[in-house]
Structure 1
Amino acid sequence: MVLPLELLQQFKASDFSDQQEYEAWRSRNLKVLEAGLLVHPLVPLDKSDNASQRLRQIIRGASEKPIETGKNSESMQVLRSAVMSLACRSPDRSASDFCHWADGFPLNLHLYQMLLETCFDASEDGSIIDEIDEVLELLKKTWVILGINQMLHNLCFTWVFFHRFVTTAQVDIDLLHAADNHMDEVAKDAKSTKDSVYSKILSSTLSSILGWAEKRLLAYHDTFNASNIEYMQSIVSLGVSAARILVEDISNEYRRRRREETDVARSRVDTYIRSSLRTAFAQVSSAELSD
């Protein structure tokens, strides 16, 4: 059974007292289907698979033309056909009567990140709710079910703060500070474990954060001005912290070398300064030539 699909088939708008609540519920279930079938499928997707392309189109189109949930609706029949085609595949690509549709642990992480989103006020862009401590205590009860531990929580929470900042117009500096502060816990965790699964997740997450930060820091004259200069310190700190963990605690090359030979923070900051100066100089030279 593909639970999100079954829920979408069993409930319709009239079962909810509030239209906004119904739309949020429908969106959450579609996101879970997307995560389990397209992002973290048990059986890897074939790029030429029509069912996966069809499901992507359905989910993408749902934001413009909402799916009418309920067992007998035409849109649900189309959705069910695409979902079941993907869910009932076996590792040898043959059809199966069983629906082992998602790769459990990655999906669990995805679900936990969605749960952490409840720490933010849905009616205000990015603001942290006052009851955050109580919510986190409740979420901790899901750890045993989802396979989460303190290290994974710290990493997920860092990502959620960072992602929330990025996706809410990058104006709430408190979110950036929170991500930067939680990165300190991630750094401690990275030094205390050699778990290969955690290291893989850590590397992927930090690489995304570092890539975002460096896109802004390698030409910081173009990124920062009088109106947003206060963000620069936290972005530098976040980027340097991510780089240091990736180099010092994940890189095999670093372990083979003497630690005193590498100062990650100094190296990264030096790179940002030199790159930005080169970019600024090139822009000035280009402007002078065009005059």
Structure 2
Amino acid sequence: DTLAKRALRRIGSKMVQGQLDVPCISLQLLSSVGKFDFPTERLRVQWQRRQANVLEELLLFSASRECSMSETLRIVLSKLKNTEDWVVSVPDGRIEVLTIIERYNTRLSAAPKKFGLKGETYHWTQSYHFNSRLYEKLLSSVFDMLEDGQLVEEADEILETMKLTWPILGITQKLHDALYAWALFQKFAQTGEILLLKQTDLQIQKLKLHNNVREAELYIDSFVCSVEGFGSNGTLNLVDSALLKINMWCHRQLKNYHLYFSQANCSIFESMLNLVLLTAANLTDDDEEAMLIGTSLGSTPESTLIHILVVRSIQAAYKNALISADGQSKAEFKHPLILLASELKLLVEKECSAFSPVLHKYYPEAGRVALTVFHLLYGQQLELFLEGSDHSESLKEILGASNSFELCIAQKLYSMYGEAAGSSLSNFLKPYMDRSFFFTHHSSVASCSTRECFGVDKAYH
């Protein structure tokens, strides 16, 4: 570290009037650090090869456009990578190799700048893939190595110091915000620490406020990334690519939120939902026509997305409940529909206590949609049973369980929406008793209560 700092100070004194780039730094380090500056030979070899690989990545690809230049550069870089020859060669030979590489870098750096930005260098655009990876590595220094998922106390000071690298790596404020948000989110995905998720949210909010000049936007758009998501492939700039990756990860979790979240981590659920809405609320691969309940005309992109997430998550939870009920049926000697009703009542309780209060903030109809989907899914399974020609001796228990589940749905609807429980969704809430004459012998009090809470008396009488 001491040797590196000394070499970098020399670079700084030389480059007061000029522009600095990563190849210049590597070359200065190679000329300043010698064999005996390392505690072991293995460390020296690793360090030298790393510098050679950096120069090869940044210079050889660019030089490949000129065959003669590329071949010469390839030869001198091979000498640099051959660490044994490098050590035994005379100092003049090493200086000559570094001088040739420096000359090529100077020649590349003199190429016309693409966007006319202040301080722009050749390597801003030609080496953006390397620069962005290096900056991500630097950003990782804000995370505490001893306490996983925590930021170090000096995080703000580190970030402020890192601004000194922006002119070298071609980082703008918008690029920083995007890359820092991505670094925070990746660490959250590894640790589950909600503070990192909240920090990601703040960074993206800052990112959305940027209104760059045209040249700066063209510069960012030149950083092209291949992306695959939401049923299609394409290209996006680096900033939009990072946002899409965050959105896709959160989207996958939220499409099955009953599996991944509970009352205990509901705060993460809300933060993740907010992040999805913030990053790309209008991106979805869902076919609304294939859903049980479509969104109403004139719905906002935000409410449409939440509607889809609610339906998809309940469908996934229902599928798991159905499998569980089938498995338990053999062990408990009960009909699967009886056990399914019990499983779904637990899911309804979880939905109403943990998720609907959060979803209601963004989409007031979320609770009604959720309860309607639960009711529809169980009703479909019940109808298949009732249409069968051979009804089992468990019929009475099945009808009792279904009536209990339906009453649970009705009570939840009433508790959430009161007298306004009826809506356009009432068309989907056909009481189970209207589907078969088998229900005519059930409790008239329970049936009437169900019908009133569903708001369907006028529709069916």
Length-normalised TM-score, structure 1:
0.60
Q: Select which of 64, 71, 75 maps to 2:83.
A: 71
Correspondence for 1:54: none
Choose from 271, 275, 298 the match for 1:238.
275
Contact 1:243 1:264 in 2 (8 A): no
Tell me if 1:107 matches 2:102: no
Asked if 1 retains the 8 angstrom alpha-carbon contact of 2:144 and 2:150, the reply is: yes
* Offset of residue 150 of structure 1: 1.0
Partner SS state of residue 125, structure 1:
coil
Mapped partners of 2:168, 2:187: distance in 1: 25
Q: Is the 8 A contact 2:255 2:310 kept in 1?
A: yes
Is the Cα–Cα contact under 8 Å of residues 158 and 183 in structure 1 kept in the other structure? yes
The aligned length equals 221
- Give the SS at the match of 2:83: coil
Query: In 2 relative to 1, CA 71–6 (structure 1 residues): closer, same or farther, beyond 3 Å?
Result: farther
Cα distance change of structure 1 residues 15 and 141 upon mapping to structure 2, 3 Å threshold? same
Q: How does 1:17-56 map to 2 (within 5 A)?
A: none
For 1:270, the aligned partner's letter is H
Q: How does 1:1-291 map to 2 (within 5 A)?
A: 15-16=38-39, 71-72=83-84, 103-167=126-190, 169-170=191-192, 172-189=193-210, 195-199=217-221, 200-244=237-281, 263-290=300-327, 291=329
CA contact (8 A) 1:162 1:176 kept: yes
Q: Per-residue deviation at 1:287?
A: 2.9
Alpha-carbon distance in structure 1 between the residues aligned to 2:142 and 2:265: 26
The one-letter amino acid paired with 2:174 is M
CA RMSD of aligned residues (A): 4.4
Larger radius of gyration: 2
How far apart are the structure 2 equivalents of 1:152 and 1:272? 30
Q: Secondary structure at the match of 1:142?
A: helix
**Distance (whole Å) between structure 1 residues aligned to residue 62 and residue 145 of structure 2:** 32
Q: CA deviation at 1:246?
A: 6.9
Greater relative CO, 1 or 2 (CA 8 Å, sep 6+): 1
Give the letter for the 2:194 counterpart. I
Structure 1 pair 7–245 and aligned structure 2 pair: CA distance change class (3 A): farther
Contact 2:282–2:302 (CA under 8 A) maintained in structure 1: no
1:244 is displaced (CA, Å) by 3.8
Shift of the 244–284 alpha-carbon distance from structure 1 to 2, 3 Å rule, reads closer
Q: Which residue of 1 aligns with 2:458?
A: none
Distance change (3 Å), C-alpha of 1:227 and 1:196: same
Q: Distance in 2 between matches of 1:42 and 1:211?
A: 34
Gaps of at least 5 residues in structure 1 are: 45-68, 74-97, 248-260
What one-letter code is carried by the residue in structure 2 that aligns with 1:216? Q
